[in-house]
Amino acid sequence: MKKTIGLYIHIPFCKSKCYYCDFLSKPNQEDYFQAYVRALEKEMLAYHKLLSDYVVTSIFIGGGTPTILPIELLQKIGIRLGELFFIDPKAEFTIESNPGTLSFEALSGLKKTGVNRLSIGLQAFQNRLLKKLGRAHTLEQFLQNYENALKVGFDNINIDLMFGLPEQETRDWEESLLKVIQLDPPHLSCYSLILEEGTPFFRMWDQGHLLLPTEDDTLQMYRKCIQMLTDAGYEHYEISNFAKPQRKCKHNLRYWNCDEYVGLGVGAHSYFQGIRYHNQENLAQYIKESYCLQKLQKDPQAIHAKEAYEEYMFLGLRLIQGVSKEEFYHRFQRSMEEVYGSVLQKLVKLGLLKEEENNVKLTKRGLEVGNVVFEQFLLE
Ligand code: SF4
């Protein structure tokens, strides 16, 4: 039987740069569009043989803003994927997008290319907050694009929202949740703002010019989010992710379950055949070298037993169902207690972790301080 794999394809272009963003993406790169897609095709070709024993069960085109590319170029990527790899007919095929880039024609083109899941970055329902974040779109554009997506027949849509934003009040957040619930998308990702060094927001905060909600207010927003979305019939299945039945993101589940994936494109990360690595991060250099995987791949890190235990625990604990002790034993031929006995006991005592039948999972409190819990699983 063939092994399964997920493919991630990075598109490093955006209309403009949001003030909080440290992702590998740049505006005003139209001159690179054609050359970049050609380079992606070369990288796909370089992986062709290596992936011949695999069936692709999920594809995720992320960014950046992939839908900033003309539809012909996105279709080229889709066609080439189909030609070079064995793609499961039931594979989940997601594309990330931002409002203002989803015309009816572009959406129809994506549908024809086999894209069956659309992720839209909305972030907030208030134009004043979108402006504050440096987003390149308005609420009205989002609503228009969302309607287009439904008309074209997309029935698997994710909407991204953010909380803990500058000048965001609890009532703004509740309004965003309420309005988005009324739209009834099958999936929602709700992230709290993180200040990343090197971003305009970080500099403003450093100079005391960024007014953020208090930690307590942000925590209340997270609690509100869980309460409103679960009341509305969403399953809270990962710290920041909520889905209607059968609509969990299969691609992201691969990451949290420590399953293999290959990342194509500038700076893209992979976990393949026991090694984690990432691609060249310089765009021009990536375009030059994409035909040769050896040149392209940087910082290979073999995942030995110690790293594998650690990753399995802190990625798996992101899932609300937690980590299965049986699955842990099946993977590593060692019991979870043998590796983490004292850590588990300590975290259970602190009320951050609970054991349920065969699973170990975060408690409500553990969910709110996830990073503190995850750190405990780092081994000497
Ligand atoms: S649209 Fe997304 S990737 Fe692009 S700058 Fe904004 S946050 Fe970053």
- pLDDT tens-digit series, residues 150-186: 999 999 999 999 999 999 999 999 999 999 999 999 9
The answer, yes or no, to whether residue 69 has pLDDT greater than 90, is yes
By alpha-carbon position, which residue is closest to atom 2 of ligand 1? Answer: 64
pLDDT value at position 60? Answer: 98
pLDDT at 380: 80
Q: Average pLDDT for residues 85-108, to the nearest whole number?
A: 97
* Angle, CA 269 vertex, CA 265 and CA 275 arms, to 5°: 130
Give the mean model confidence (pLDDT) for residues 217-241.
97
Which residue owns the Cα nearest ligand 1 atom 5?
A: 17
Query: In ligand 1, which atom is closest to the CA atom of 14?
Result: 4
Q: Give the tens place of pLDDT for each residue, 270-313.
A: 999 999 999 999 999 999 999 999 999 999 999 999 999 999 99
Has residue 149 got a pLDDT over 90?
A: yes
Q: Is the pTM of this model over 0.85?
A: yes
Average pLDDT rounded to a whole number, residues 14-24: 96
Of 11, 16, 22, 65, which is best to mutate to test ligand 1, by the most ligand atoms within 8 angstroms of its C-beta?
Answer: 65
**Chain mean position to CA 130:** 20
Per DSSP, helices labelled H in the chain are 33-48, 71-84, 104-113, 127-133, 139-152, 170-183, 200-206, 215-231, 250-256, 283-289, 293-296, 305-316, 325-332, 336-349, 364-368, 370-375
Query: Ligand 1 mean position to 21 CA, how many Å?
Result: 6
Residue 63 near ligand 1, beta carbon < 6 Å? yes
Q: What are phi and psi of 88, to 5 degrees?
A: -55, 130
Q: How far is the CA of 97 from the centre of ligand 1 (A)?
A: 10
Task: Say if residue 84's pLDDT is above 90.
Answer: yes
Question: Which domains does the chain show, CATH number per domain?
Answer: 3-256 (3.20.20.70), 322-372 (no CATH)
| pLDDT band, residue 357 (cuts 50/70/90) | confident
Task: Identify the pLDDT of residue 2.
Answer: 86
pLDDT of residue 259: 96
Q: State whether the beta carbon of 98 lies less than 6 angstroms from ligand 1.
A: yes
Q: Is the CB of 21 under 6 A from ligand 1?
A: yes
Those residues with Cβ within 8 angstroms of residue 114's Cβ, 6 or more apart along the chain or in another chain:
78, 82, 93
The reply to whether ligand 1 has any atom less than 6 angstroms from the CB of 65 is yes
Provide the pLDDT confidence category of residue 32 given band limits of 50, 70 and 90. very high
Distance 132 CA to ligand 1 centre (A): 14
Indicate which atom in ligand 1 lies nearest the CA of residue 98.
1
Q: Is 23 in the pocket of ligand 1 (CB under 6 A)?
A: yes
Looking from the CA of residue 64, the nearest atom of ligand 1 is 3
1 pLDDT exceeds 90? no
Q: Is 191 in the pocket of ligand 1 (CB under 6 A)?
A: no
pLDDT tens-digit map of 235-255: 999 999 999 999 999 999 999
Q: What is the mean pLDDT of residues 88-111?
A: 96
